[in-house]
């Protein structure tokens, strides 16, 4: 499915890389198309190397987001490794309070992560416990990283933080050439429930401005 979703983005990719002088509306509609029975994606940000869509999650005030972007001066492997490197994130992400690998499964490559992050004042900080798994698909020339919230006995709830129990993300990275040459596209699909009381229009403003 990851490979199929990246194929839906090929028209957008060629647009971002300057292969067409003008956008192809039919290609953009295809990129944001939803599966049968699912709500369509709504574009909320459209920049040269970054596009952002959203769609409401039924029965909630929340949205699921989809990001499509492109880099030309970084290798796919460098970008992929940065996503996985929890120690490095502590250095560049000033919002991190705690970010630790709780458990690893050497057989599958899965890791359980505990992540505590600052939220805007006056809200409490949020903490996530999630499992992530990654793979390098040489046959389809893709890198995939998926995460979802889990429960873990080693990380009970802390009254100082608000536990985020609903969270999932999927990132797909497609090199323009190879894993070790500059240039790639990435597709990130993401949703969580940070248990805020903001209405949708406030969340939309924060996402589009920040």
pLDDT at 209: 58
154-189: pLDDT as tens digits: 999 999 999 999 999 999 999 999 999 999 999 999
Residue 22 pLDDT more than 50?
Answer: no
Q: How many Cβ atoms sit within 10 Å of the Cβ of residue 113?
A: 19
Q: Is the pLDDT of residue 145 over 70?
A: yes
- The DSSP secondary-structure symbol of 208 reads H
* Distance in angstroms (rounded) separating the CA atoms of residues 122 and 84: 30
Q: Cβ neighbours of residue 161 under 8 Å, at least 6 residues apart?
A: 116, 124, 125, 126, 127
153's CB contacts (< 8 A; 6+ apart) are none
Structural domains in the chain, CATH included, are 39-209 (3.30.530.20)
* Mean of per-residue pLDDT scores for the chain: 84
pLDDT tens sequence across 46-69: 998 999 999 998 888 889 999 999
| Alpha carbon of residue 132 to chain centroid | 12
Higher pLDDT, 34 or 178: 178
Among 7-21, 29-43, 136-150, name the one with the lowest average pLDDT: 7-21
d(CA 55, CA 41): 5
């Amino acid at each position: 499915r990851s490979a199929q979703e990246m194929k839906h983005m090929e028209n957008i990719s060629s647009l971002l890389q300057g292969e067409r002088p003008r956008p192809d509306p039919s290609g953009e509609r295809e990129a944001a198309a939803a599966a049968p029975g699912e709500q369509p994606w709504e574009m909320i940000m459209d920049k040269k190397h970054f596009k952002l869509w959203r769609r409401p999650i039924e029965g909630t005030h929340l949205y699921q987001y989809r990001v499509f972007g492109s880099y030309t001066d970084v290798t796919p492997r460098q970008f992929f490794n940065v996503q996985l490197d929890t120690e490095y994130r502590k250095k560049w992400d000033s919002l991190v309070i705690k970010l630790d690998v709780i458990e690893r499964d050497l057989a599958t490559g899965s890791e359980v992560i505990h992540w505590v992050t600052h939220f805007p004042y006056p809200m409490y900080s949020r903490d996530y416990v999630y499992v992530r798994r990654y793979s390098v698909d040489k046959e389809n020339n893709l890198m995939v990283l998926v995460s979802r919230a889990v429960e873990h006995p080693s990380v009970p709830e802390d009254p100082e933080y608000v536990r985020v129990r609903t969270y999932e993300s999927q990132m797909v990275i497609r090199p323009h050439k190879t894993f070790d040459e500059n240039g790639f596209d990435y597709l990130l699909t993401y949703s969580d429930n940070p248990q805020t009381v903001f209405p949708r229009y406030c969340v939309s403003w924060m996402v589009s401005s920040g």
